[in-house]
Amino acid sequence: MSDNTVILEEPIASVLKAPLEEQYVPGHRTCGGCGPALAYRLIAKAAGPNTIFLGPTGCMYVANTSYVCVPFAVPWMHTQITDGGGVASGVEAAYQAMIRKGKYKGDFPNIIVMGGDGGTSDIGLQAVSGAMYRNHDLLVISYDNESYANTGIQVSPMTPYGAATSFTPPGITIPEAKKFWPKDLTALIYYGHPMVKYVANATIGYPVDLMNKVRKALNKKGASFIHVHSACPKGWRFDASRTIEMAKLAIQTGMWINYEIDEGKKKLDHVPTKMKPVEEYLKTQGRFNHLRAEDVQKIQRFVDSKVAEARPVAARAV
């Protein structure tokens, strides 16, 4: 491993202490209120200028770089939706070799893959797994808007049970619309790849927590993974102004659980003292309009078991 890794100062104490510099600047065609765009901004801000981003095809590629221009103040490269993890591994290997052989005189860069849920849990899973298994010194972000959003909100393995998408419309044959339960991507990455030291769940609803998790991950030598819940007004069907509200509601109902596993120590974050019923989350989003009472109960049972499974080691109350 290169000794040139620059250690980012950490942690950021509060919003007021967050760096003012933007590495993800204004001027991109993401939807108004786009959760993934906010995630990108916060992650770029936390990572700072010594960063290379890899952008697999998805909303954060197409919407950000339409047309012939980029909103990134740091180097960035487009990858296929299939190979974000692979291309990033190559960038990492190149810098390891070039620095060691004296062909590059600068510091080892932060290397971050900004993949969507499809590009990290589905079509891109193999490449991400390869990168994690080989423990390249990089960070894979899964900005999870719970669908293949860029192509028009199609179902992905991260789409919640019961969510309508354009491949899972509700109807008489499948009244619950989506009948598969989502993959547990963070667990899959952590428990499946023994060299990975750091994984986390984060959300745009808690920006300082997200930024600190990014810095912690980047300061680790080796592969890290952060799964960022990124509310999507278009896909989930709610008014764009409520993006942060949705992110927080997911935490308050247990539909999203924030945690990190740092060198074997698991810590839950933002655990509500009392969970709100999932119905409060489901009723705010048009993609769940068709749910019957029995579907809501199924979702509640699933969330309850996930919350129980989480077995907090140490929790910070919200």
By CB under 8 A, the residues from 65 to 84 that bind another protein are 65-80, 82-83
| Contact region with another protein (CB under 8 A), list: 27-35, 189-197, 219-227, 289-297 | 27-35
Binds another protein by CB under 8 A, chosen from 1, 19, 22, 180? 22
Using CB under 8 A as the binding rule, whether residue 88 contacts another protein is answered as: yes
Q: What are phi and psi of 260, to 5 degrees?
A: -140, 150
Per the DSSP assignment, residues forming a β-bridge with 258 are 269
**Interaction between residue 141 and another protein (CB under 8 A):** no
DSSP string, 267-278: EEEEE-SSPPPT
234 lies in the site for another protein, by CB under 8 A: no
Task: For residue 97, state whether it binds another protein (rule: CB under 8 A).
Answer: yes
Q: Does 89 bind another protein (CB under 8 A)?
A: yes
SS3 content of the chain, % helix, strand, coil (to 5): 35, 15, 45
Taking CB under 8 A as the rule, does residue 1 contact another protein?
Answer: no
Indicate the residue among 88 and 250 with the shorter CB distance to another protein: 88
Here the tokens at position 71 are 């909103």
Q: Which of 119, 162, 207, 235 forms a contact with another protein (CB under 8 A)?
A: 207
243, 252, 258, 285: which one contacts another protein (CB under 8 A)? 243
Asked if 33 touches another protein (CB under 8 A), the answer is yes
Confirm or reject binding of residue 135 to another protein (CB under 8 A): no
Query: In this complex, which beta carbon is closest to another protein, that of residue 168 or of residue 230?
Result: 230
Q: Does 305 bind another protein (CB under 8 A)?
A: no
Is 35 an interacting residue with respect to another protein (CB under 8 A)?
yes
Query: Which segments within 41-190 are labelled E, that is strand?
Result: 51-56, 76-79, 110-116, 139-144
**Contact (CB, 8 A) for 25 and 85:** no
Residue 152 in contact with another protein, rule: CB under 8 A:
no
Beta strands at 139-144 and 110-116: parallel, antiparallel or unpaired: parallel
Distance (Å, whole) CA 275 – CA 200: 21
CA distance 255 to 144: 13
Per CB under 8 A, the segment of 13-21, 163-171, 214-222, 250-258 that binds another protein is 13-21
Binding residue for another protein, selected from 10, 245, 262, 279, defined by CB under 8 A: 245
Torsion of CA 147, 152, 155, 159, to 10 degrees: 30
Among 1, 19, 25, 301, binds another protein (CB under 8 A): 25
The three state secondary structure string of 227-243 is EEECCCHHHHCCCHHHH
By CB under 8 A, tell whether 317 contacts another protein: no
Measured from the CB atom, the residue of 80 and 300 that comes closer to another protein is 80
Residue 160 contacts another protein per CB under 8 A = no
Q: How far is CA 34 from CA 119, 143, 214, in A?
A: 18, 11, 20
* Piece of 36-44, 161-169, 260-268, 277-285 that binds another protein (CB under 8 A): 36-44
Element (H, E) at 246: helix 243-253
Applying the rule CB under 8 A, the residues between 165 and 194 that interact with another protein are none
3-state secondary structure of 214: helix
Size of the site for another protein (CB under 8 A): 84
User: Counting runs of H as helices and runs of E as strands, what totals does the chain give?
Assistant: 11, 9
DSSP state string for 179-196: -SPPP-HHHHHHHH-TT-
